[in-house]
Amino acid sequence: MIRFRLILKLLTIIGGHVLRILVTFMLCFMLPAHAQYESRIVAEGFAFPWSMAFVDDQTALLATRNGSLHRIDIESGKHTPITGGPETYVESQGGYFDLLLDPNFSQNQTLYLALAEGPPEANATAIYRATLADGALTRVTRIFRVEPAKDTAAHYGGKLAFFTDGTLLLTSGDGFEYREASQDPNSQLGKILRMNPDGSPAADNPFIDGNQGDPYVYSYGHRSPQGLAVDAAGQIWMHEHGPQGGDELNLVRPGANYGWPATSFGINYSGAKITPLTSAEGINPPVTYWTPSIAPSHLMIYSASLFPEWTDSLFVSTLVDNDVKRLVINDEAIVSEDVLFAEFEARIRAVVEGPQGELYLLTDSENGQIIEIVPSVQDDPSEMDNPREPE
């Protein structure tokens, strides 16, 4: 068995960017029709790792829900703390939610953090912008805070993504006890919000004049959205937790209403109906939904070719099923759904694409792990008779 990472390490020593591309291309054609992979634990011992972003081929930044930041050496697994992060409200579902690098990070070292901000009786999702310098965050500035504030430590949203035009997207949850606010375009709860990198509302948002809705609102009718991604065609995909059942995957349109709580495929935790409607005029239906709930925790669109059969697939990590769903999309519809990485028997908080197309799983626990997934490349042809496939 030839380890993919050893090949990359050798090429790094050689220093050939073109060679890297050639070997990745060769590996793609060496793989069988169904992806085979091997895994290793990069590092562990993190209290609920929620988000990770690569700053170069060998280094990643990791954010945990308890409000810590770490620099990770992917090869050795060594990690060092990053100081200077903003204070966060760590309670129930509150803490650091998402870490996003500026599109020009290599030049400006700027990053964005979505987090829960107190006090407990008036907490909210907020975005901070900062500069990374010498292992610390500097110039830490809050650029946005969701309004109104709430007194519940749940359903924050808090996922970030850059849109194709350079504007910044943020998911906002309904606060659990404030579900009706999701249907109010003047409230920022239960929404996808769109803004400029400085925190001001995007000029072409659907309610920018403020007459029929909040200037930041891009879409509404969401419950607890924890997945957000923009595909190569510039389409915005998101998923959200339903109540008991009715987790949804949605394709987001500007100004569109996605139903919660007027429509839902789920029921209350008590077993009572929330609404008799699963659809209604003027409400965009989900692309797909899951009943019973899978608890979708993160959305990633695979853009690399290291696993060629996975290219352009949507990856949804789950907290109930303890796996990752791979969704194949054709003409804005789901044509197949595969289950991956169930063998780890872990709540998976996020799935992250690495610089060379590797995958990294973040497990959701007090002893959270970073697990690397790379192709299994077999140097013994006889092994092809019994290839190991994901469960």
Catalytic residues: 155
Amino acid at 73: D
Query: What is the dihedral sign for C-alpha 282, 287, 292, 296?
Result: negative
Decide: 370 and 360 in contact? Cβ < 8 Å.
yes
Amino acid at 390: P
Phi-psi sector, 378: left (phi>0), alpha (psi -120 to 50), beta: beta
CA distance linking residue 304 with residue 267, whole number of Å: 38
Q: How far apart are CA 359 and CA 125, in angstroms?
A: 28
Cβ 287 vs Cβ 332: under 8 Å: yes
- Distance in angstroms (rounded) separating the CA atoms of residues 330 and 199: 35
Tell me the Ramachandran region of residue 282: left when phi exceeds 0, alpha when psi lies from -120 to 50, beta otherwise. Answer: left
Contact 190, 128 (CB under 8 A): no
Q: Closest Cα to residue 267, out of 297, 285, 293?
A: 293
What strands, in cross-sheet order, belong to the sheet with 296-301?
Answer: 296-301, 314-318, 324-330, 333-340
C-alpha 131/C-alpha 86 separation (Å) is: 12
Intra-chain end-to-end CA distance of the chain, in Å: 20
